[in-house]
Amino acid sequence: MAAAEVDDDLRLVTSASNLLVPEGGTRPLRVSLNGPPASDVSVTVARLSGDTDLRASATLVFTPADWYKARVVTVSALDDTDAINGTAALRVSIVGWTSSDVQVTEVDNDGALRFAANTVVVPENGTGTVGVSLAGQPGANVTVAVARASGDTDLSGSASLTFTPSNWYIAQPVTITAAHDVDATAGQAAIQASAVGWSTAVATATELDDDARVLATPSTLRVPERAGRTFTVRLAGRPGATTFVDVGRQSGDTSLHVVSSTRLAFSPGDWNRPQTVTVAAAADDDALDGVACFTASAAGWRPAAVTAIEEDINRCVMAFPVLVAVPEGRSRSIAVRLGGPPASAVTVNVAKVSGDADLQLSGSTILTFTSTNWFAPQYVTVAAAADADRVNGSALFRGYAEGWQPVDIVVTEIDGPSSLPSAPPPPGS
C-alpha cells in the first residue's frame, strides 16, 4: 500500500503551541485549517506522549464550506497527589495534512500560588485587576512574579509582589492592560504567577471590545468600618431596550457588601443618568483593611469594576487617659493598648512631641503587642520635675506604630504644692 502524500501547503493551525492547564481544571485549545479542503475532513486530537493526567481527545469535522471556523477542544488536567508539573504532547492531525503538535504543561496546585479569580475581564484600551495570594504560610518572604505566559499580545500585565509570613493570605492586586486594536475579537491570554519553590498559578485574561460599556464612578471606594459609601453606575451608550445592570461582590472581604438595590434598570431615555449604589463595611474584630472587588454587569455589555477598601477602626493605638494632670514633683501612669488584633507583632513607641521640658517620660517607652495580648494594657510613666515657676506647663506625647493610627496624649503639670496622693504603680508591677 502506498503511503499517503503529505501536502506541505495544507496545515492545521492551533491557538497555542504551548498550553498551561491548572491541575483539576481545563483550558480551551482552538483548532482551524489554513485553507479549504477538497472534501470533508476529520481532524483527530489526541495525546501523543507524556503525563496521563493531561487529557484531550476529539474528532473535529471541517467541510469546504466552514473550514475557516475554529473548533474548540477542551484540554484537562486531572487532580493528583504529587507536586510535579506534568507535561504531555498533543497531536492534531489529518491524513494528508501537516500535523500540529502542542506542548501541554500541568500547573500543579500543591504549595501553590493563587489568583482570586480564574478569569479576569479587561476592557479594550483599559485595565482590569485580579488578586494574587499564597495558598499557605511561608517560612520567609516570598517574591512572586506575574507576567503574561501566552496568548494575545494585546493583553499584558506584570508585577513583582512580596508576601511575608504575616500577610501571605491577603490578595495583592495586579493590573492587566488590554491595548487598543482594530479587530473585533475578544482576545485571550494566560497570566501566570510564579515564585521559586512554589507551584505557579494561571488566570485567563479576556479582552472585552469597547463598544457597549457599563460605567462606575469612582473605581476605588474607601469605606469606614461600620459605615457606608456610594458609587454611581450608568451606561456609556443608549440601549435599544431597557437594560438591567446587576451589582455584586465578585471577590474579597465579605464584610464589604452592597446594602442598596443590586439590580438597576436603564431605559433608552435615562441610560446616562447615574444611579447610586451603597457599599457598607460591617464591624469585625480584626485590625485589617479588607479589600473587595464589586462588578456592575449587564448581558452583552462590558462590566465595570469598583475596588472597595475597608478603613478599619480597630487599627489604632489607644491610651487611657489622653488628658493627664501630673502634680509637680510627682508622676502618673498611662495605659496603652491596640484597638484590635494585629496579624503579627506590633511595636508601639511612646515619645514626647513638644512642650514643657519639666514633663518627661520615665521608664520603658517601647511596648510590644501580639495577637494574644493586644487588648491587655501596658503602662508608661510621665513625671513632672519640680521647678521654680508658678506656671502649669503642658506637653504633647504620642503613641505610634508603623501602619497604625497614632494616639496623642496631653499632659499638664499642676504647679506648686499638692495634696494629691502619689500615683499608684501600674497593675501587676
What would the pLDDT profile of 122-168 be if each residue is shown by its tens digit?
Answer: 988 899 999 999 887 777 899 999 999 999 998 998 999 999 888 88
CATH of domain 7-107: 2.60.40.2030
Residues 301, 235: contact at Cβ < 8 Å?
Answer: yes
Report, in this order, helix, strand and coil percent for the chain, each rounded to 5. 0, 55, 45
On the question of a common fold for 211-313 and 317-414, the answer reads: yes
What's the topology of domain 115-209?
Immunoglobulin-like (2.60.40)
* Percent share of the chain, pLDDT over 90: 56
Which pLDDT belongs to residue 340?
Answer: 84
Q: Grid coordinates in use for 111?
A: 504549595
Class of domain 211-313: mainly beta
Predicted confidence at residue 106, as pLDDT, reads: 87
Q: What is the mean pLDDT of the chain?
A: 87
Contact 262, 278 (CB under 8 A): no
Reported as a single tens digit per residue, the pLDDT across 324-345 is 999 999 999 999 999 888 888 9
Mean pLDDT computed over 94-116: 85
- Average the pLDDT over 310-314 and give the result: 76
pLDDT above 60 (res 3): no
Distance of CA 196 to the CA centre of its chain: 21
Q: Judge whether 274 and 247 are in contact, CB under 8 Å.
A: no
Cα of first residue to Cα of last residue in the chain, in angstroms, is 100
Report the C-alpha gap between 373 and 145 in whole angstroms. Answer: 36
Only one residue has cell 495544507, namely: 10
Report the pLDDT value the prediction gives residue 282, as an integer from 0 to 100. Answer: 85
Give pLDDT, residue 233. Answer: 96
For residue 2, the model assigns a pLDDT of: 46
CATH code of the domain occupying 317-414: 2.60.40.10
166-202 pLDDT, tens digit each: 888 899 999 999 987 755 356 889 999 999 888 889 9
What does the domain layout of the chain look like in residue ranges? Answer: 7-107, 115-209, 211-313, 317-414
Strands 407-414 and 323-327: parallel
**What is the percentage of the chain residues whose pLDDT exceeds 70?**
90
- Alpha carbon distance 422, 106 (integer Å): 72
Query: Bridge partners of 220?
Result: 307
For residue 121, count CB atoms less than 10 angstroms from its CB and return exposed for 0-12, middle for 13-18, buried for 19 or more. buried
Residue 108 CA to residue 147 CA, distance in Å, equals: 18
Residue 388's SS3 state is: coil
